[in-house]
Amino acid sequence: MSFGSPHRHSAECASTNDLARAWAMDADNPAPHGALVSADFQTKGRGRRGRQWQAGRGESVLMSVLLRPAFSPTEAWQIAFIAALAVSDAVGACVPHVALKWPNDVLIEGNKASGVLVETVHAGASGWAAIVGIGVNVSQTKFDPNTAYQMPPTSLRLSGGQVPTVSVLTEQIARALELRLAQHAMQGWKHTRADWQARMAPGIVLQRGPEQGLFVDLEADGRARVRLPSGTFACWATVDAEESANTPPNQV
């Protein structure tokens, strides 16, 4: 097992994804595959589609793992699903009723306990890398009522399960990510997709701008198959045209 080592921890930073990016690009001492960055607090934590990610000091897992994947960057979108499975493995060991919302939210009893933000780095001759940013609400009991997220937030403490320390859960997620990536390398996307489908939350309504669609299935290309109010089916991509204006091009 090597994920989580080397590990750089900060009491405070703007975003662990930024620290991981800088470390990945450090010409003298570049972060190796599996290197971990964590923090007690982020001043500019970010989520998918330009949202802010807020977490109280020391109450939340705030981590980024640097990957130097063996596969092509055209398959980088698969990392988000692999990471969601890894987080659900670790969170599911603490609380029951853990499920996945497309593409990579971990829900506890239908509420959002975690988010994953995958960003890519193109580091010239050294190839590409992916930064897997993970936030998990551990001991928060109060949340901003004006959240930009569709699902209401929750934490492990609020869900009444075991509440591990943030550092223990961080290590467990890093290990779970390593195992899930190894499984993906051996068995491929078909198997990862089947595992994701086995955990998908039922009855999730996705919002895309003004449109709503009932999530039906994860397509082989990572898109969401949804049933529209008209009764017809459509496939939605993670970053679609109308939302891409808010989505930096390196976000998966």
How many Å apart are CA 18 and CA 4, to the nearest integer? Answer: 17
Residue selected from 35, 62, 176, 224 as contacting ligand BTN according to rule CB under 6 A: 62
199: Cβ contacts below 8 Å, ≥ 6 apart: 85, 88, 98, 99, 100
- Of 17 and 120, nearer to ligand BTN (C-beta) is 17
Residue nearest to ligand BTN (CB): 115
Query: Residue 53 interacts with ligand BTN (CB under 6 A)?
Result: yes
55 close to 40: Cβ distance less than 8 angstroms: no
In DSSP terms, 208 is beta-bridged to: 211
Of the candidate residues 4, 34, 69, 115, the single one contacting ligand BTN (CB under 6 A)? 115
Q: Give residues 131-170 in contact with ligand BTN (rule: CB under 6 A).
A: 133-135
Alpha-carbon gap, residue 208 to 148, rounded angstroms: 13
The reply to whether 117 sits near ligand BTN by the rule CB under 6 A is yes
Q: Which one, 109 or 227, has the nearer CB to ligand BTN?
A: 109
Which DSSP category does 32 fall into? P
* Minimum CB–partner distance for residue 98 and ligand BTN (Å): 15
Q: Which residues pair with 61 in a beta bridge?
A: 136
Contact call for residues 64 and 134 (beta carbons, < 8 A): yes
Residues 3-42 that bind ligand BTN (CB under 6 A): 15-17, 42
88 close to 107: Cβ distance less than 8 angstroms: no
CB of 207 to ligand BTN, least distance (A): 14
Q: Applying CB under 6 A, which of residues 45, 69, 213, 222 lies at the interface with ligand BTN? A: 45
Q: Report the residue number, 48 or 193, with the smaller CB distance to ligand BTN.
A: 48
By CB under 6 A, residue 64 contacts ligand BTN? yes
Handedness of CA 13, 151, 190, 229 (dihedral sign): negative
